[in-house]
């Protein structure tokens, strides 16, 4: 405060002793003050004006002038303390002087210089080259005189900060809002970012921080090293609140690559609002096919099928695909089972049967489909009343579901496969399934051609399925 006050008083020469000649000291406060005029004796009596060719001319030479200075009404703020010594003093205490004319209402949050009566910490009381008679360019250096955060070192800087427009968001004197904000944070942000106001059905599901108007829970209002001035990059930022997902990712054997790569959580979820539950960007399977529209390689080096092409070319699709429910079988974040499956399912071509190993399938399909040897109401895959699912599964080298069915889509009824990769070499084992009105048949590489008929059973070669592994 005293630095500003001394500058103020020094500019007028009031601190100079009575017998001291006017010198450059009188202009020390002005950064661009002219050279000192020729030495002249100070007045020793009350004068009519303070501005002459040799006294205080710099005060009225500034681009922006304080009203009393422009009108040369120096005694509006100063009064003679000793005319003989040409010594002046302020007409009132500095804390009260500015408020005599500038009736600044003090709200709940007050800028520190204002609270301390340090008006001259930001303003020159006589004149300046900047609007508001500020001491420095408000868009280049004034605020950072005190607020010394080095935003320039950050990768992403908020637009107003980059151009120094602090007062676009902050009140310079006082505010009803914390941090001297001009409005509540939610209204302040959408004043520029209007596209982030949900419209119509978009308001069905709104992210909690957005609903609470707490934009700064995720974004730094000034600058950040993360894109969009996020406080941290995803998924780390999201996991600060979503603790259950963080725990799942940390403890699971298999993690969805999309969570860790690229946009992270925002690849599948809208960070602000959505028409869909869980803030999904689009419906399934379209959401999943945004990435699975090309062959993808897992962390283990396994190449995943281009599912977009598979579904486009194969109209016979599995129920969850038809219903748009990829997450009926797959966890979207992390899982204990391969391929992010929600429950256990054997990855092998051959696997002895056990209900627990097929837990995924029997979330939808009734277990009797493979547990009952006979029955006409269990399945359409039967020869008379002989359950052919039971026949295939209950063997020492039981066939898994994938041996005959494509779990996503096929060109054949019941999404039966054309062929299946067999062995480590990946030999494609053809199935050659043909449907008939009451049954069908196949001639795969694993046995001779066989046919079945639900109404008129077809004699089959002798088969003795093993019940090993049957509950």
pLDDT grade for 462, boundaries at 50, 70 and 90: low
Q: Which two three-digit tokens encode residue 187?
A: 């209204």
Measured CA distances, 402 to 125, 146, 147, 355, 406 (Å): 85, 69, 65, 16, 6
Does the bond joining 323 to the residue before it have cis omega, within 30 degrees of 0? no
Name the nearest CA neighbour of 57 among 125, 124, 147, 126: 126
Per the listing, tokens 């019941």 go with: 414
Measured CA distances, 292 to 91, 158, 284 (Å): 77, 35, 12
pLDDT mean across residues, the chain: 85
Q: Which two three-digit tokens encode residue 147?
A: 């607020």
Of 95-109, 177-191, 276-290, 402-416, which gets the smallest average pLDDT?
95-109
8 A C-beta contact, residue 334 and residue 259: yes
DSSP 269: B
pLDDT grade for 329, boundaries at 50, 70 and 90: very high
Does the bond joining 215 to the residue before it have cis omega, within 30 degrees of 0? no
pLDDT grade for 16, boundaries at 50, 70 and 90: very low
Give residue 35's pLDDT. Answer: 53
pLDDT grade for 49, boundaries at 50, 70 and 90: confident
Angle in degrees, CA 351, 353, 357, rounded to 5: 80
Record the pTM. Answer: 0.74
Separation between Cα atoms, residue 378 and residue 372, nearest integer Å: 8
Q: What is the rounded average pLDDT of the residues 147-152?
A: 82
User: What 3-state class would DSSP assign to 413?
Assistant: helix
Predicted confidence (pLDDT) at residue 29 exceeds the cutoff of 90: no
Beta-bridge partner residues of 350: 399
Give residue 31's pLDDT. Answer: 43
Give residue 314's pLDDT. Answer: 94
Give residue 40's pLDDT. Answer: 64
Q: Which two three-digit tokens encode residue 279?
A: 């803030």
Q: Which two three-digit tokens encode residue 314?
A: 């194969």
Predicted confidence (pLDDT) at residue 241 exceeds the cutoff of 90: yes
Name the nearest CA neighbour of 109 among 185, 172, 165, 191: 172
pLDDT in tens, 81-110: 998 999 999 999 887 889 889 888 889 999
Q: What is the rounded average pLDDT of the residues 119-148?
A: 89
pLDDT grade for 465, boundaries at 50, 70 and 90: low
Of 38-47, 245-254, 354-363, which gets the smallest average pLDDT?
38-47
Predicted confidence (pLDDT) at residue 33 exceeds the cutoff of 80: no
Separation between Cα atoms, residue 203 and residue 201, nearest integer Å: 5
Separation between Cα atoms, residue 54 and residue 52, nearest integer Å: 5
Give residue 446's pLDDT. Answer: 79
8 A C-beta contact, residue 321 and residue 315: no
8 A C-beta contact, residue 59 and residue 11: yes
Measured CA distances, 53 to 31, 39, 50, 61, 348 (Å): 19, 12, 10, 12, 101
Give residue 108's pLDDT. Answer: 93
8 A C-beta contact, residue 18 and residue 42: yes
Q: What is the rounded average pLDDT of the residues 414-441?
A: 88
Q: What is the rounded average pLDDT of the residues 197-202?
A: 90
Give residue 1's pLDDT. Answer: 38
Give residue 25's pLDDT. Answer: 32
Per the listing, tokens 């499956």 go with: 341
DSSP 65: E
Predicted confidence (pLDDT) at residue 14 exceeds the cutoff of 60: no
End-to-end CA distance of the chain: 87
Give residue 397's pLDDT. Answer: 76
User: What 3-state class would DSSP assign to 67?
Assistant: helix
Predicted confidence (pLDDT) at residue 23 exceeds the cutoff of 50: no
Separation between Cα atoms, residue 162 and residue 367, nearest integer Å: 65
b/e 34-53 (16+ beta carbons within 10 angstroms → b)? eeebeeeebeeeeeeebeee
Predicted confidence (pLDDT) at residue 15 exceeds the cutoff of 50: no
Predicted confidence (pLDDT) at residue 6 exceeds the cutoff of 80: no
- Comparison of pLDDT for 38 and 160, the residue scoring more: 160
Of 7-21, 95-109, 256-270, 342-356, which gets the smallest average pLDDT?
7-21
Give residue 176's pLDDT. Answer: 94
Beta-bridge partner residues of 435: 440
Give residue 39's pLDDT. Answer: 56
């Amino acid at each position: 405060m005293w630095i500003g006050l001394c500058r103020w008083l020094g500019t007028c020469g009031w601190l100079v002793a009575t017998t001291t000649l006017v010198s450059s000291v009188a202009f020390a406060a002005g950064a661009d003050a002219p050279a000192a005029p020729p030495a002249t004796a100070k007045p020793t009596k009350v004068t009519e004006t303070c501005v002459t060719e040799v006294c205080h001319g710099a005060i009225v030479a500034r681009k922006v002038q304080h009203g009393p200075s422009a009108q040369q009404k120096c005694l509006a703020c100063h009064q003679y303390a000793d005319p003989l010594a040409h010594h002046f003093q302020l007409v009132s205490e500095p804390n009260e002087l500015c408020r005599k004319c500038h009736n600044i209402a003090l709200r709940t949050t007050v800028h520190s210089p204002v609270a301390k009566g340090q008006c001259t910490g930001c303003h020159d009381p006589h004149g300046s080259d900047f609007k508001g008679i500020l001491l420095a360019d408000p868009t280049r250096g004034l605020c950072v005189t005190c607020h010394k955060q080095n935003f320039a070192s950050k990768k992403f800087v908020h637009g107003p900060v980059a151009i120094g427009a602090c007062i676009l968001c902050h009140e310079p004197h006082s505010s009803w809002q914390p941090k001297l904000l001009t409005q509540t944070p939610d209204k302040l942000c959408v004043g520029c970012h209007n596209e982030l106001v949900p419209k119509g059905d978009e308001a069905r599901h709104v992210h909690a921080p957005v609903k609470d108007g707490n934009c700064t829970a995720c974004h730094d209002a000034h600058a950040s090293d993360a894109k969009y001035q996020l406080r941290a990059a995803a998924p780390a930022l999201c996991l600060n609140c979503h603790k259950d997902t963080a725990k799942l990712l940390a403890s699971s054997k298999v993690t969805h690559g999309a969570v860790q790569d690229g946009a992270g959580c925002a690849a599948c979820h809208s960070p602000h609002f959505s028409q869909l539950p869980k803030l999904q960007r689009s419906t399934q399977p379209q959401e999943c096919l945004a990435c699975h529209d090309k062959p993808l390689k897992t962390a283990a080096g396994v190449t995943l099928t281009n599912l977009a092409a598979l579904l486009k070319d194969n109209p016979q699709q599995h129920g969850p695909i038809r219903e748009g429910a990829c997450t009926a079988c797959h966890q979207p974040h992390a899982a204990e089972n391969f391929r992010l499956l929600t429950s256990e399912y054997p990855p092998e071509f051959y696997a002895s049967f056990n209900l627990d190993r097929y837990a995924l399938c029997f979330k939808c399909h009734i277990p009797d489909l493979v547990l009952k040897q006979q029955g006409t109401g269990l399945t359409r895959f039967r020869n008379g009343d002989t359950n052919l699912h039971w026949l295939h599964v209950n063997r020492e080298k039981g066939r898994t579901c994938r041996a005959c069915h494509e779990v996503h889509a096929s060109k054949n009824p019941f999404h039966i496969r054309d062929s299946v990769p067999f062995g480590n070499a990946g030999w494609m084992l053809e199935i050659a399934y043909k449907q008939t009105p009451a049954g069908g048949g196949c001639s795969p590489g694993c046995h001779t051609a066989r046919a079945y008929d639900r109404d008129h059973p077809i004699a089959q070669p002798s088969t003795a399925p093993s019940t090993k592994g049957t509950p």
